[in-house]
Structure 1
């Protein structure tokens, strides 16, 4: 029988054509070839749909997307205005000081991107996928829904047969969503690939790490006011949930901590690292995302590569480290060979070129990065204020515009620290939280701790995971997100625990209500 062209199928055809022009081939695509279900709708290319759902993750990499909600409002990052540079009508300043509104274009961008990504992953399921393909699509949908839940507090969804001209009819509230997402992911866990040569594929390990995230944050999401708003901590973490975190981290196989920390972020990190669990794959010349933003957005114009001289790391972050911690400062041989003069980690003080000569700013002053900065920079030092961070070392083989650095989403050190936190919060394990944290610290070149408090663990997560997109999530769970730090002198109201839903989404969807405070 010939398949009727329904609105659902029409959308799928359009999406396939879009993906063909948007996403090129990659190593990931080759690994998907053997996983397409038999008996799927012959009018729909499930391989292309699934590959496109993976490719959608690249849209999260830009400096004006996920970074906006996960890092800028925290005690790790800021975007100061430098004279006329980086003003953008205050769009970066309001993030740091928690004064954003419903009109913030980049917050709205995160809402659209994550909801679109979840919907595109669902289209794989709506077009007849089964087995491993359906499981991978479910993982991708749950991951994007998790981002929507974490940042906005409610998840709109469509059923497969819904008319796209009408608003979505389904809505997961903040309190009910964790149980739904956990159940969906646990239902497909055994259908996911057990092992892969590429961390860009959604495997059982990736699902276990994401499930650990969901169980660890479950108490935060369930602490919801009657009006749908978020409650301020401290939170009541159930021992059973914390034990599930331990169990899922213990079930992760074939992953280990890297002796060289920055192997997790260098070009070709997908092959170099033993630690990566799930990444958004970037392939130079074929399917590259925007990992370059992570060095362009922070480096000065006169460094190599020439940057945009924008975002800075807070002294709150810098002062958490002790000398000798490779996460703070590491000299990478390939950077020296490239002629850049850069080190990986945090850049502070006089900066040099590859020949060891001191660099200068555009006015001829010494290029000396300082710990202090102002959100509104003026005067002769406006180009040099603020510590810079090189978390993803530049890829010089592609001239910086299409790097091979895969964008890290989940890795083993994060999982171990989640396990340590769960044990500290009452989870059952044969190990101690202190031993696990010291395992991470020792391999990074840091002195083992003699004892472990919640503050110690929050600080360790910052040292290990800075600028990786988890700081807001961590600060909320540890009840420090509404506090004060460098260039944020005033505490925030609890309404800042959630971001506003875009006005156009509210106006077109009667099921959606704006979050309190907006």
Structure 2
């Protein structure tokens, strides 16, 4: 996406029209056609472009994508007073702002998409190109489908307006059953795929494509348990013949990988758009303190131990595994080193040493008195590009929301769950493993698929949805204490870093987040999710 498009997006996000009727405690940020001034908007094609660009701004952001894994068995927030912390220990409630912020953001996007679809016909004939007009509507439907997929995945049965609403209409909305929401998501993505181009040039690069619509259709169908639809949609992406795996896995999450043919759809950022708010703070938020960053969310031992050895076996079964603190990371699935910083890793021209103080004198050393050092001794490496180390708050790295490796894994899983674990499905999964020189698996199994998704997609915002849809969250989440690195203490004893007061729980109710209490207070027709 060019700087011009980013600037338009930023301008649209700031326009009063795009925020008309917006109040934090409303069910929806309503954009009503009656609030749009005819002499400002819906009079020429550029109005539609600006409004559409503002709709893109509601896509999952860099912090949303990365921090969601801190609510799972892959990571933890580094501060127990952090509002996100309670989403991993099972103590959150409908009053908490974290889940409510997600609700507000995605409904903002829904409202904008609905407004464009409802208003674009007001632009006089001759003042908008018909083909581009159809594409703008298709982009809006694609975005609406993505927003509703996020909402239904997080909250289950939610209101589903498809047209702009007045305040009074919004307060009469009821919960739409999740199955119907998935129906609409699939319909929106089908409609988008039928119109959107496969590629763009110039200022339009970065917009939704046919491949993106089909890939999100596969994700939506997989989440809904409609496996044949998911397999067919993923295969349609594969058959386009325009995507392929990047040769270097680690490069995908750095500036060097932004234009990779593996990236199907991304939330675009730019350093040059800092003043317009289109930059990000990935390095400052998640990088190590040795680069003056804050490490607000960090990996945990559970994830580290899940990575296989290079022989394709687990650390429990492989003769290659050496549990010594200075040997345990050797001969591991290469995605471990590309995803996580651990003691002994090469980082910024030196050897990383996050053992507790005073064993380590490096800034990344575990120090429970310093909230910016990892409580586990592990740090995120994925997404952290050293190019940003001298300007940490002004990052421009794009965050992928859909890439080809995920499509291949969705295809394999959907075929398996549909009772069709054929050679094509096995080949799709093994293609992902081959990229990092991991040995092929001989048979397509749930364990193989689920391992691959975890190793391949860590810190890409998908683990929470995976463990919930697989109904394994209550098995993998609870733990009496969160642990981190192993190290030898000053007396020569083997120790494991533990996080104080870090017991985790996952009650059955947590398979859905609660409808925000503020919405229930405004609308008596809404029903709360069970257990809240």
| 8 Å CA contact retained: 2:95, 2:518 | no
1:474 is paired with a residue of what secondary structure?
helix
- DSSP-derived class of the 1:274 partner: coil
CA RMSD in angstroms comes to: 3.5
Distance 2:373 2:108 in 1: 39
Deviation at 1:309, TM superposition (A): 3.4
SS at match of 1:408: strand
Q: C-alpha distance in 2, partners of 1:164/1:313?
A: 43
Q: TM-score, normalised by structure 2?
A: 0.73
Q: State the distance in 1 between where 2:364 and 2:301 align.
A: 9
| Residues 228-270 of structure 1: per-residue CA shift (max 9 Å, x gap) | xxxxxxxxxx564354344434344300000011232112533
Whether the 8 Å contact between 2:288 and 2:373 is mirrored in structure 1 is no
SS at match of 2:165: coil
Cα offset for 1:370? Answer: 11
Cα distance in structure 2, aligned partners of 1:380 and 1:405: 25
Do residues 346 (structure 1) and 352 (structure 2) align?
Answer: no
Post-superposition shift, 1:353? 6.4
CA distance in 1, matches of 2:136, 2:375: 49
Matches within 5 A, 1:226-375: 240-267=228-255, 269-271=257-259, 273-286=260-273, 289=278, 291-293=280-282, 295-301=283-289, 303-304=290-291, 306-321=292-307, 322=309, 323=331, 325-329=333-337, 344-350=338-344, 354-356=348-350, 365-366=359-360
Aligned position for 1:512: 526
Q: CA 1:137–1:308 in structure 2 vs 1: closer, same or farther (change >3 Å)?
A: same
Match of 1:176 among 176, 180, 190: 180
Shift of 1:364: 5.7
Question: Residues 167-195 of structure 1: CA distance to partner in whole angstroms, max 9, x if unpaired?
Answer: 25445321221112111221232111221
Provide the TM-score with structure 1 as the length reference.
0.75
1:409 matched residue in structure 2: 401
Alignment pair present for 1:484 and 2:476: yes
Task: Report the equivalent of 1:96.
Answer: 88
**Secondary structure, in 3 states, of the residue corresponding to 2:506?**
coil
Structure 1 residue runs without a partner (length 5+)? 1-10, 19-38, 81-85, 220-237, 330-343
Conserved 8 A contact 1:53-1:140: yes
Distance apart, 1:368 and its partner CA: 7.7
Q: 1:42, 1:76 → 2: CA distance?
A: 48
Q: Deviations over 1:373-399 (max 9, x none)?
A: 9xx957999756331111103252671
Distance in 2, matches of 1:402 and 1:315, equals 30
Which residue is equivalent to 2:315? none
3-state SS, counterpart of residue 244 of structure 1: helix
The total of aligned residue pairs comes to 439
Match of 2:140 in 1: 137
Any conservation in 1 of the 2:71–2:77 contact (CA below 8 Å)?
A: no
In the TM superposition, what is the alpha-carbon distance from 1:404 to its structure 2 partner? 2.1
Alpha-carbon distance between aligned partners in 1 of 2:152 and 2:433, rounded to the nearest angstrom: 31
